[in-house]
């Protein structure tokens, strides 16, 4: 999601001299790191008051996956708590690390069935990476599940719970906690996904243990987070017993995604990416936007995915001071370096991976998912590309979720995945 985003995000970097190394910007201080106490938004737009649970402590534990606090999670669709008869739902705040390895606090929800596990070995855990939720703190999945009926992922993860799996659902960096959500930031998202799995295993009173097998799943933004987590896991979280990863419609190449989105129905994703990458890379975007662009950026800070109409069919050229579209900047520094830094497919996953993608995807081009499969295959990974023809990006969610059940059942049973690289052209 990111054409207009990448542009606004990266240009300011050049002005700050943060190009090639992509190191911590000189302007980044303790109040500018999303997920830390007192963090501010990249547009300096005040955030609405949040529940006390989402306020990070003054000092975040340095060990990733450390549980900071927990509380029972409630559901808007189940105000009487009838689901408590079959599972426990716990809201968690846990420690993670941002792109620059700084400790941050991230929130999420852990679900654990109360019925005994009857499968082989220990009860499995799915670390579930949600798709695009938006930028405002109110968009955090853990809040939507408790406050509204808008959290669509809730219905998708039920398939894992009825199979007896535990599920850990991250809110990602800055979504719920102070500061701008670091949307489509490869490293930050991957670490949030891996660290909530760690937190789920360390949570007080859980039946999960260090021997718990783990699966990684996500679609769209979550597909990118899952794919990145599969790449980073061997170095970042080697103790997790990850058995496989399914990445649905992963935005592995932001350049191609940006070109597809600018001026489209989903142009709001450009705005999300603009803010998210700016937050993750310490970019000051204001001087590169015209008055309209600055107003759009400020408003976007509190938008959720269901606010797409606010930017539908908007061209990024209408938001910039020089009138050029974002795509014109992607080959220039610092844009080129930031986009390259968020390219997925450069590291070989150590576990079997399944990429599920619709050939008729109107948001993340099918060619992007296929290229990711080819990139991983070239590195010797065990990859299978599952292509469907369900229309549109939204339509591809169902087949991706459905085929994940058989995929994880086989992985948790210890069955090997037949490498499908020979069939990917």
- How far apart, in whole angstroms, are the C-alpha atoms of residue 372 and residue 251? 9
pLDDT digits (tens, 9 = 90+) for 307-316: 999 999 999 8
Q: What is the DSSP string of 322-378?
A: T---GGGTTTSTTHHHHHHHT-SSSS--SS-EEEEEETT-SSS-HHHHHHHHHHHHH
In a domain, 277, yes or no: no
Domain region containing 418 = 3-255+339-423
Whether the bond into 334 is cis, omega within 30 of 0: yes
In a domain, 203, yes or no: yes
Asked whether residue 335 carries a pLDDT value surpassing 60, the answer given is yes
Strand partners of residue 216? 127, 245
Average the pLDDT over 272-300 and give the result: 88
* Cβ-contact 16, 284 below 8 angstroms: yes
Average the pLDDT over 216-224 and give the result: 97
Identify the three-state secondary structure at position 78. Answer: strand
Average the pLDDT over 250-261 and give the result: 94
Contacts of 389 (CB under 8 A, 6+ apart): 358, 359, 360
Asked whether residue 420 carries a pLDDT value surpassing 60, the answer given is yes
In a domain, 214, yes or no: yes
Tell me what pLDDT residue 23 has. Answer: 38
In a domain, 302, yes or no: no
Tell me the CATH number at 49: 3.40.50.1820
Answer whether 0.75 is exceeded by the pTM: yes
Please compute, for residue 316, the number of CA atoms within 13 A of its CA located in the half-sphere on the CB side. Answer: 31
Asked whether residue 3 carries a pLDDT value surpassing 50, the answer given is no
CA dihedral 155, 215, 396, 7 (to 10 degrees): 110
Asked whether residue 132 carries a pLDDT value surpassing 80, the answer given is yes
Q: What are phi and psi of 419, to 5 degrees?
A: -65, 125
Token pair recorded at residue 385:
């590309």
- How far apart, in whole angstroms, are the C-alpha atoms of residue 425 and residue 206? 44
* Cβ-contact 330, 253 below 8 angstroms: no
In a domain, 265, yes or no: no
Q: At what angle do helices 268-281 and 3-16 cross, to 10 degrees?
A: 30
pLDDT digits (tens, 9 = 90+) for 136-170: 999 999 999 887 777 778 778 889 999 999 999 99
- Of 202-216, 309-323, 330-344, the range with the lowest mean pLDDT is 330-344
Sign (positive/negative) of CA torsion 76, 80, 86, 87? positive
Number of domains in the chain: 1
Q: At what angle do helices 254-261 and 366-378 cross, to 10 degrees?
A: 170
Contacts of 239 (CB under 8 A, 6+ apart): 210
Roughly how many angstroms between the first and final C-alpha of the chain, as a whole number? Answer: 26
- How far apart, in whole angstroms, are the C-alpha atoms of residue 138 and residue 47? 10
In a domain, 268, yes or no: no
Pick from 22, 424, 400, 415: which is nearest to 219 by CA? Answer: 400
- How far apart, in whole angstroms, are the C-alpha atoms of residue 110 and residue 218? 16
- How far apart, in whole angstroms, are the C-alpha atoms of residue 347 and residue 325? 31
CA dihedral 204, 205, 210, 213 (to 10 degrees): -120
In a domain, 316, yes or no: no
What residue has token string 């739902």? 89
In a domain, 170, yes or no: yes
Identify the three-state secondary structure at position 209. Answer: coil
């Amino acid at each position: 999601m990111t054409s207009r985003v990448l542009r606004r995000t990266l240009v300011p970097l050049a002005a700050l001299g943060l190009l090639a190394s992509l190191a911590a910007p000189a302007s980044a201080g303790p109040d500018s790191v999303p997920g830390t106490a007192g963090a501010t938004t990249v547009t300096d737009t005040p955030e609405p008051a949040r529940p006390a649970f989402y306020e990070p402590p003054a000092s975040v534990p340095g060990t990733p996956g450390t549980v900071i606090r927990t509380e029972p999670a409630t559901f808007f669709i189940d105000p009487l708590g009838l689901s408590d008869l079959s599972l426990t739902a716990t809201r968690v705040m846990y420690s993670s690390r941002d792109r620059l390895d700084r400790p941050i606090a991230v929130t999420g929800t852990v679900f654990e069935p109360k019925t005994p596990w009857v499968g082989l070995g220990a009860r499995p855990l799915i670390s579930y990476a949600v798709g695009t939720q938006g930028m405002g703190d109110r968009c955090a999945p853990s809040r939507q599940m408790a406050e509204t009926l808008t959290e669509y992922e809730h219905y998708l993860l039920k398939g894992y719970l009825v199979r007896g799996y535990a599920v850990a659902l991250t809110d990602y960096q800055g979504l719920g906690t102070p500061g701008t959500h670091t949307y489509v930031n490869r490293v930050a998202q991957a670490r949030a996904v891996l660290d909530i799995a760690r937190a789920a295993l360390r949570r007080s009173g859980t039946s999960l243990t260090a021997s718990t097998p783990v699966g990684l799943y996500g679609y769209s933004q979550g597909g990118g987070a899952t794919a990145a987590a599969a790449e980073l896991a061997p170095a970042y979280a080697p103790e997790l017993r990850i058995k496989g990863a399914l990445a649905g419609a992963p935005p592995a190449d932001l350049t191609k995604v940006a070109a597809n989105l600018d001026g489209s129905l989903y142009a709001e994703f450009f705005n999300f990416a603009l803010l998210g990458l700016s937050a993750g890379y310490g970019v000051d975007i204001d001087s590169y936007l015209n008055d309209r662009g600055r107003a759009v950026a400020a408003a976007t800070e509190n938008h959720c995915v269901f606010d797409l109409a606010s930017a539908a069919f908007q061209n990024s050229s209408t938001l910039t001071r020089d009138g050029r579209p974002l795509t014109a900047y992607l080959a220039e520094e610092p844009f080129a370096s930031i986009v390259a830094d968020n390219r997925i497919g450069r590291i070989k996953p150590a576990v079997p991976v399944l990429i599920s993608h619709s050939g008729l995807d109107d948001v993340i081009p099918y060619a992007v998912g296929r290229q990711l499969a080819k990139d991983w295959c070239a590195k010797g990974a065990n990859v299978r590309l599952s292509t469907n023809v369900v229309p549109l990006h939204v339509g591809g969610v169902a087949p991706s979720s459905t085929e994940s059940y058989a995929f994880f059942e086989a992985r948790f049973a210890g069955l090997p995945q037949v490498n499908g690289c020979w069939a990917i052209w």
